């Protein structure tokens, strides 16, 4: 499969419960986007390290993924093409959150905002370590680049036969996602 520079094919688990953490992470990123926009309006565009746009693109990407997921089907996989700038924005934001977690002075405002928002606005309360870990897990799913991804994506894109090669590749994806920390995934040999 030839990858167009503008599209980033992602294979996602067919059960959105695996990406439940994307909802609260999206809210955190929306909050950062709003704060960065206000900081920009008041002449401090680097207060949250990045301008508001990467935060907003990252939040919108998580929202679109969550909205575009088909009805849950355990053992299924779902193909989604993302414009390349969307995963790039998620990686940029992850970099800011890592800097904040690691006490980088330039990311102190981001740390304070994320810490306060995640601790006070969610049940159970979340820490910045959890926000970083959950975004890392989401990105591990979106950026997984193993041969199994190409096999599954090609089969789904071409509406090909779900043969043994497809099922084996799908099972490799589930194993890789479990290794990345996603829970609720079926074991090997799940029905297609």
Give the pLDDT confidence score for residue 188 in this predicted structure: 43
Question: Quick check: 160 and 166 in contact, CB under 8 A?
Answer: yes
Question: Quick check: 131 and 119 in contact, CB under 8 A?
Answer: no
pLDDT digits (tens, 9 = 90+) for 13-29: 887 666 777 899 999 99
Give the pLDDT confidence score for residue 1 in this predicted structure: 37
Phi, psi angles (nearest 5°) of residue 74: -60, 130
- Quickly tell me which residue has 């800097």 as its tokens: 99
Q: Which percentage of the chain shows pLDDT scores above 70?
A: 92
pLDDT exceeds cutoff 50 at 3: no
What pTM did the predictor assign? 0.85
d(CA 90, CA 78): 20
Give the pLDDT confidence score for residue 6 in this predicted structure: 54
pLDDT digits (tens, 9 = 90+) for 148-181: 998 998 898 888 788 899 999 999 999 998 888 7
Name the pLDDT band for 190 (thresholds 50, 70, 90): very low
pLDDT digits (tens, 9 = 90+) for 26-42: 999 999 999 999 999 99
For residues 96, 98, 102, 107, the Cα torsion angle rounded to the nearest 10 degrees is 10
């Amino acid at each position: 499969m030839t990858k167009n520079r503008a599209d980033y094919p992602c294979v996602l688990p067919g059960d959105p419960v695996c990406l439940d953490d994307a909802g609260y992470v999206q809210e955190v990123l929306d909050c950062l986007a709003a704060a960065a926009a206000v900081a920009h309006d008041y002449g401090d565009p680097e207060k949250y390290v990045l301008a508001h746009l990467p935060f907003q693109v990252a939040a919108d990407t998580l929202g679109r993924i969550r909205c575009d997921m088909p009805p849950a089907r355990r053992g299924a996989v779902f193909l989604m093409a993302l414009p390349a700038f969307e995963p790039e924005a998620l990686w940029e934001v992850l970099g800011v959150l890592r800097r904040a977690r690691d006490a980088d002075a330039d990311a102190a405002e981001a740390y304070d905002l994320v810490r306060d928002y995640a601790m006070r606005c969610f049940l159970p309360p979340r820490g910045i370590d959890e926000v970083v870990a959950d975004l890392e897990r989401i990105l591990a799913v979106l950026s997984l680049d193993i041969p199994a991804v190409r096999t599954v994506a090609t089969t789904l894109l071409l509406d090909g036969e779900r043969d043994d090669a497809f099922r084996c590749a799908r099972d490799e994806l589930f194993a890789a996602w479990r290794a990345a920390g996603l829970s609720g995934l079926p074991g090997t040999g799940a029905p297609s």
